Structure 1
Amino acid sequence: MISPSVYPAILSFLVLTSSAAASDGEPTSTTTACTASSTSGAFFDLRHDAAIKPKPDGSRPSHSRGAPLTDYKARGWDYGSNFTLNICNAVVEPIEDVKDIEESKWQNISAYYVSKGDYYSLGFQSAKPVTRGKELVLQYTGGSHCGAKKSRSLSLSDRSTVHAGAAYRDYENEEDEPTSPTPEGSDEGENENEDDSDDSDNDKNNNKDDEDEVRRKSTTIFFSCDRDTIGGNAQVSFVAVDPDECNYVFKVKSAHACATAEPHKPGSVGPGSVFAIILVVAVFVYLLGGVFYNRTVGNARGWRQLPNYSMWASVWSFICGVAIAGGEFGCQIDGTCPLGSAQLPSDGPSQMNHFVKDDGINLFRIPTSWQFLVNNQLGGNLDPSNLSKYDQLMQSCLDTGAFCMIDIHNFARWDGQIIGQGGPTDEQFASFWGQLAGKYAANDNIIFELMNEPHDLDIGIWAQTCQKAVTAIREAGATSQMILLPSTNFDSAATLDWSLLAITNPDGTTDNLILDIHKYLDEDNSGTHAACTTDNVDVFTTVARYLRSNRRKGFISETGASSDASCMTAFCAQNSFINTNADVFTGLVAWGAGSFSTSYVLSLTPSNQNGRLVDNTLMKQCVLATWNNAHNNSTLPTRTSAATSTAVSSSRATTATKPSSVLVLTSTLLSIPTGLLTASRGAAASNFPTNFPTKSNNTISASPSPVDTTGLLVLTDVFSGTTLSTLALATGTPPPRSGFGDLITAQSDAPLRTQAATTASESSLSTPAAAAVSIAVGTSTLWSLVFVAAISLI
């Protein structure tokens, strides 16, 4: 027994089945009238050969497309009558008294001839030419009656030739008629010879051998390609008729009978649709696959389920912001950070609201220390009380909708001991970051800066330490946030190290792993002097080239200058360059606001004027204006010369690259200018020749003359052999914050290059525009291949 619950389903099925059956009985055609396609792909369009009726005033209709306005005429030669026909359409000229055809159908006749004043149809209109092999054929059927009869016409061979202008003639019995008596008592109409008879009863009486079923005349038109037709119009010729005068054959020469490429058929899937379908499928696979992976593997929810959400969320704008300082106050470069020195800014939330609402800033860097977050308990868990204080500032940042960067301001140390190199273990550092990342894993606007300004350490070991921290962050659930990878030498732009490029996410990718970069413009890159003496456009040109060649991105998480006149030009030029090279520079953070007073040399803290926060000139011109101008106008900055540069030019240099980012200058002639020069013997320079003139204080005085410095020094923690081009020895003693590598790059005019460094690939990626063109060409090529492959399968 069938359950009553299934009746609705059965009824629905029957309705659908009946609908389908009804639709099957009403086939639709997508073939365009008067066109045909062969199995080999050839396409024929005869619409231009179909004659159409002119307007009542005799003018050509607007939709005529050059079609003729009169019917085609074909000479009958030995047949005895000439023919009138049209292609695909009914004949244009009106006709009447058509034998064996109802009057209502006269208007649909496409071919006919006239005999003894009567019209004989050769078939009704058809707009469906077909291809048979290499032949293009059009047929008309349903004409006047025809068939073999004893009393019928003379054979074609007995007929006389008709001239071209004849309308009709009676050629039958023209010799026999005088000697053919009419039988007595017979009906004259029964003995009269005609081409065809419209009386089927008489046919049966006089021709008993006729077929029981009436046959009708038809037309077969063969088309041939002829691009040299006179005036471009088709030419029609009568070819033959069968003995029963039922099938009439014509040949048409026309340029439109030549095969062409088949256009898109209405109702079918064209090339553009195929491409769109492939694109839509690819997008759906990308979205659904990414969502499935992020939900099941990454336990993501909400918008974070979308694949590469962080990248797409930030792809439309360069991130520009300000450091809200205070939490790092008291921290020294040896990693000592007294808890009582931290001064989280009480007006930090109001400053951030001002920067976002009034200035459009979309990033804040919020420094703190490792000691503060764990209440000075190395290896311990995050301290709830101190974490709550820091988190209040972070939540105020997140409430603005901006990106919020967690900055651990420890210089890769804990109370003088290097992390992973005699001090805190890698595991302790990774555990700390795992706990902190778990706290903010659900928010994609968080940026993790692993460490502020590491220095004087083994970069290879430090890279391994960073790798463990990255793994801990990702495994804590922060799978899509940006992580900034700090190098040595105080994160200097001059010392990006190749070791950092080997750091990956747990899945082996480098998505959202960004190189951390700091750079100031004063004489020692410390950000402690008012005057700006360095052309950082030179420096960042080198950095941009490095990033493009390695297909990575950098983040300038700390840079700054004073309001000194020398800085208003240099700082603005630097920031303009960074903004307009956003293909490799993800963001920029200017130092600093927060707990800094407005009198601080690098202050960007807004002043309170009658209860309203107002930015200083440096903030307006060199941070906000350069950011807005670069993205509104898409213009590159005008390059400025270095303010003051004591450089030593290289007249000849041969370089070789060693592992671990060691660049060896093996044969260099330097022209030493007059003055005091310092050669550092620190970690960044070694292998001084024994005959190199030095004093106890490492200071030498030399007159302008070539000095052979073969084997002079080995520079570590600098770019590979494709980045520097001139060597410079800086004046003054390198301060702890700077290091030798900073001075070299800051004092150099152009990047150092090996003899084989100038390659076409690097040149092609030297500008964002060129890189964009390269990406566009590559993408177009890829989709072209996909398109061709798809077409080949259809």
Structure 2
Amino acid sequence: MKRTRVRACLRALLVAAVAVPLLAVPQQASADTNSFRGVNWADGRDNYVDGWVIPTGLASGDSYSAVKSKADGIISGFQSKLGANTVRLPINPKSVNSDWWARYKGAADSALGKGMKVIFGYWEANKDGKVDDTNAWNTMWDKVTGDYKGNGNVYFEPMNEPFGYSLNDWVSVCSGWLSRHSGISRGRVIISGTGYNDNVTGVGGASALNGTLLSLHFYGYWANDTTRAAWTTNLSNRLGSYSSRTIIDEAGAPMTTGLTYNGTAQDGNTFTAYFAATTELARSRRMGVVYWPGLRAGDSYSITRQSGAGLAVNNPSAVAQLRRGWGL
């Protein structure tokens, strides 16, 4: 997710590509992932919390009915204000292996009841890019998959940003997850790219992960380029030949600084060029995008804010460009 972490920026800059003209980027075959038009709903403290994850607008003392009621307003806002049909929700063992889970499920159930897709993604607490406690992680996923394996609109992302693992070790972790949950279709499992989810070429080429979806994260603070062409090349190199399996399930930019994201003046500014390149490439390759964040208190990237029981848009021009990327 978007956060002030220098090592993430430095690592991403090291793998950034040299720009080539936009028209030189090869087109990929049509993909199925453009059915994911989504947003992240995140904890204002950051999802890397050592405790319950509580997305903005919810409270630890909420009952199931209170969570669901609050979520109804927020989910409806994602749908009506943005056109979203997917929400990505954070989980961790302390949230699921406790009484909070029975109540927190109201958020997912609200989305599912409104016809949305739900992506459950695991965030670790130690911030070292590895599963904190394998036994607790397995218990968590046993419970989550047990509750939602019967609903085809629910997708499972074993871990967010596995930067502590080598490619081989990460493939091994994912292979173990797939074996343990073999009753779940691989098409409902989303495997994070290596590093900070910043490259899917390794996991895409791993035969042990065939049939799964892939997730990529991509942010405008990872480079200083100010042209769509340069950002398009940067993103294309991270995708390799795996666009058809990939969902960009985190991408975002400043929403409260007065930038205009749609129109003809997208080059010349790092963030407008980045956002245009990301959304246009997603549109042309028919890839899904899950914006970071749809709602998160205190985050200047949040594309909406709470307004009464619903939501208000922070940057209409960004919404227009995001919707274009979604193919709307």
Q: What corresponds to 1:546 in structure 2?
A: 241
Change (3 A) 1:316 1:456: closer
Q: What corresponds to 1:576 in structure 2?
A: 280
Amino acid across the alignment from 1:539: N
Change (3 A) 1:461 1:480: closer
Give the counterpart of 1:489 among 155, 177, 195: 195
**1:516 to 2:215 alignment:** yes
Give the counterpart of 2:37 among 312, 320, 324: 320
Amino acid across the alignment from 2:323: L
Give the counterpart of 2:51 among 329, 339, 349: 339
- TM-score normalised to structure 1 length: 0.32
Give the counterpart of 1:391 among 86, 97, 105: 105
**1:590 to 2:291 alignment:** yes
Is the Cα–Cα contact under 8 Å of residues 370 and 409 in structure 1 kept in the other structure?
no
Is the Cα–Cα contact under 8 Å of residues 88 and 290 in structure 2 kept in the other structure?
yes
Q: For 1:617 and 1:532, locate their aligned partners in 2 and report how far apart those are by CA, in whole Å.
A: 21
Amino acid across the alignment from 2:41: I
Q: For 2:100 and 2:83, locate their aligned partners in 1 and report how far apart those are by CA, in whole Å.
A: 30
Q: For 1:418 and 1:611, locate their aligned partners in 2 and report how far apart those are by CA, in whole Å.
A: 37
Which whole-Å deviations, capped at 9, do the CAs of 1:653-684 have from their partners, x for residues lacking one? xxxxxxxxxxxxxxxxxxxxxxxxxxxxxxxx
**1:400 to 2:114 alignment:** yes
Structure with max Cα Rg = 1
Change (3 A) 1:417 1:625: closer
Q: What corresponds to 2:17 in structure 1?
A: none
Secondary structure (helix, strand or coil) at the match of 1:474 reads coil
Is the Cα–Cα contact under 8 Å of residues 322 and 589 in structure 1 kept in the other structure?
yes
Is the Cα–Cα contact under 8 Å of residues 365 and 406 in structure 1 kept in the other structure?
yes
Structure 1 segment 576-725 matched on structure 2, within 5 A: 576-582=280-286, 585=287, 587-597=288-298, 600-606=299-305, 608=307, 613-615=311-313, 616-628=315-327
Change (3 A) 1:329 1:618: farther
Q: What corresponds to 1:372 in structure 2?
A: 95
Secondary structure (helix, strand or coil) at the match of 1:367 reads strand
Amino acid across the alignment from 1:604: I
Q: For 1:622 and 1:569, locate their aligned partners in 2 and report how far apart those are by CA, in whole Å.
A: 11
Higher helix share: 2
Q: For 2:272 and 2:302, locate their aligned partners in 1 and report how far apart those are by CA, in whole Å.
A: 14
Is the Cα–Cα contact under 8 Å of residues 484 and 515 in structure 1 kept in the other structure?
yes
Which whole-Å deviations, capped at 9, do the CAs of 1:13-32 have from their partners, x for residues lacking one? xxxxxxxxxxxxxxxxxxxx
Which whole-Å deviations, capped at 9, do the CAs of 1:581-609 have from their partners, x for residues lacking one? 01xx3x11001133424xx321112453x
Q: For 2:326 and 2:129, locate their aligned partners in 1 and report how far apart those are by CA, in whole Å.
A: 39
Secondary structure (helix, strand or coil) at the match of 1:393 reads helix
Secondary structure (helix, strand or coil) at the match of 1:366 reads strand
Q: What corresponds to 2:8 in structure 1?
A: none
**1:439 to 2:147 alignment:** yes
Secondary structure (helix, strand or coil) at the match of 2:304 reads coil
Q: For 2:36 and 2:103, locate their aligned partners in 1 and report how far apart those are by CA, in whole Å.
A: 26
Give the counterpart of 1:502 among 181, 202, 207: 207
Q: What corresponds to 1:555 in structure 2?
A: 247
Structure 1 segment 187-336 matched on structure 2, within 5 A: 315=32, 318-326=35-43, 329-332=45-48
Is the Cα–Cα contact under 8 Å of residues 404 and 447 in structure 1 kept in the other structure?
yes
Is the Cα–Cα contact under 8 Å of residues 491 and 517 in structure 1 kept in the other structure?
yes
Which whole-Å deviations, capped at 9, do the CAs of 1:543-569 have from their partners, x for residues lacking one? 454226xxx511111111114543234
Q: What corresponds to 2:76 in structure 1?
A: 353
Change (3 A) 1:446 1:580: same
Q: What corresponds to 1:479 in structure 2?
A: 185
Which whole-Å deviations, capped at 9, do the CAs of 1:334-376 have from their partners, x for residues lacking one? xxx32267445334431211222454311111113233222xx
Is the Cα–Cα contact under 8 Å of residues 409 and 452 in structure 1 kept in the other structure?
yes
Q: For 2:100 and 2:197, locate their aligned partners in 1 and report how far apart those are by CA, in whole Å.
A: 27
Is the Cα–Cα contact under 8 Å of residues 487 and 500 in structure 1 kept in the other structure?
no
CA RMSD of aligned residues (A): 3.2
- TM-score normalised to structure 2 length: 0.71
Q: Which runs of 5+ in 1 are unaligned?
A: 1-313, 375-382, 505-509, 526-530, 630-794
State the Cα distance separating 1:445 from its structure 2 match: 0.4
Secondary structure (helix, strand or coil) at the match of 1:593 reads strand
Change (3 A) 1:533 1:449: farther
Q: What corresponds to 2:19 in structure 1?
A: none
Is the Cα–Cα contact under 8 Å of residues 36 and 289 in structure 2 kept in the other structure?
yes
Is the Cα–Cα contact under 8 Å of residues 174 and 191 in structure 2 kept in the other structure?
yes
Which whole-Å deviations, capped at 9, do the CAs of 1:294-325 have from their partners, x for residues lacking one? xxxxxxxxxxxxxxxxxxxx959532111111
Secondary structure (helix, strand or coil) at the match of 2:145 reads helix
State the Cα distance separating 1:574 from its structure 2 match: 1.5
Q: For 1:356 and 1:502, locate their aligned partners in 2 and report how far apart those are by CA, in whole Å.
A: 36
Change (3 A) 1:591 1:482: same
Which whole-Å deviations, capped at 9, do the CAs of 1:186-209 have from their partners, x for residues lacking one? xxxxxxxxxxxxxxxxxxxxxxxx
Is the Cα–Cα contact under 8 Å of residues 330 and 342 in structure 1 kept in the other structure?
no
Is the Cα–Cα contact under 8 Å of residues 579 and 627 in structure 1 kept in the other structure?
yes
Q: Which runs of 5+ in 2 are unaligned?
A: 1-30, 59-69, 260-268
Report percent identity of matched pairs: 17
> Which structure 1 residue ranges, 4+ long, deviate > 4 Å from structure 2?
314-317, 413-417, 531-534
Which whole-Å deviations, capped at 9, do the CAs of 1:78-105 have from their partners, x for residues lacking one? xxxxxxxxxxxxxxxxxxxxxxxxxxxx
Secondary structure (helix, strand or coil) at the match of 2:206 reads helix
Change (3 A) 1:499 1:606: closer
Number of matched pairs: 273
Q: For 1:456 and 1:439, locate their aligned partners in 2 and report how far apart those are by CA, in whole Å.
A: 29
Q: What corresponds to 1:13 in structure 2?
A: none
Which whole-Å deviations, capped at 9, do the CAs of 1:497-536 have from their partners, x for residues lacking one? 25862224xxxxx33x0121101011469xxxxx978843
Secondary structure (helix, strand or coil) at the match of 1:365 reads strand
